Amino acid sequence: MDSQPSGGAAATVWRIVDASRITPNTVTVLGFLGICAAAVLAIERLWVISALVFVASGLVDSLDGLLARHQGRVTAFGAFLDSTLDRIEEGLVLTAVAFQFADAGDAVPAAACVLTVLGSLMVSYTRARAEALGVECKVGIATRPVRVVVLSIGLVFGAGELISDVDLLAASIYAMAGLTAFTVGQRVLHVRGELKALEASEEGLNEPSDV
């Protein structure tokens, strides 16, 4: 059954999208290019504009799954491409921020950016590895939407550009570094518990029953 909404502005939007023949993978790539632009703007220290482009690109990127379902084009490769570019996007913006900190001689927040990139990758990896072992693993605080919100706040209020004497960029990076590390710990403990329960269940099934 077609998932297209009936009537109203939503239906008009879907008609325009269908007429454009845009594909879900195209939307994914457009979102990625937008994030690249946000990273360039961050390098130029245009924090507020970078944040706006970052958020807008993230919203565009979030539509690829909806479009795929609407067009009946949900594919394994599309999901793979989306997940891969998501990891690159976050790393690009954080690298741009780290460059600015390093250029200003702020070694601690620059190092925190590196830790945040590592933490973000590990949050994703723990879920992927757990699911490969047959364990669902969506627990944890620092999911990607949360990380996007925290980083966006830091960019908007970076270097006092929006509000004089208010600079939350370094604080947002420290928060992300801590939250990602905590989330990795949450997922490791979750998977450990789930695998132990699974092993215990399998041992119970293999035990000979009394006759």
Q: Could you identify the residue written with the tokens 């949050």? A: 123
- Do 162 and 156 form a contact (C-beta atoms < 8 A)? yes
Output the CA angle 170-171-174, nearest 5 degrees.
Answer: 90
165 is catalytic: no
CA distances from 126 to 113, 189, 191 (A): 20, 11, 9
Phi-psi region of 21 (alpha: psi -120 to 50; beta: other; left: phi over 0): left
User: Catalytic one among 61, 82, 86, 103?
Assistant: 86
Q: Could you identify the residue written with the tokens 């989330």? A: 183
What is the set of active-site residues? Answer: 86
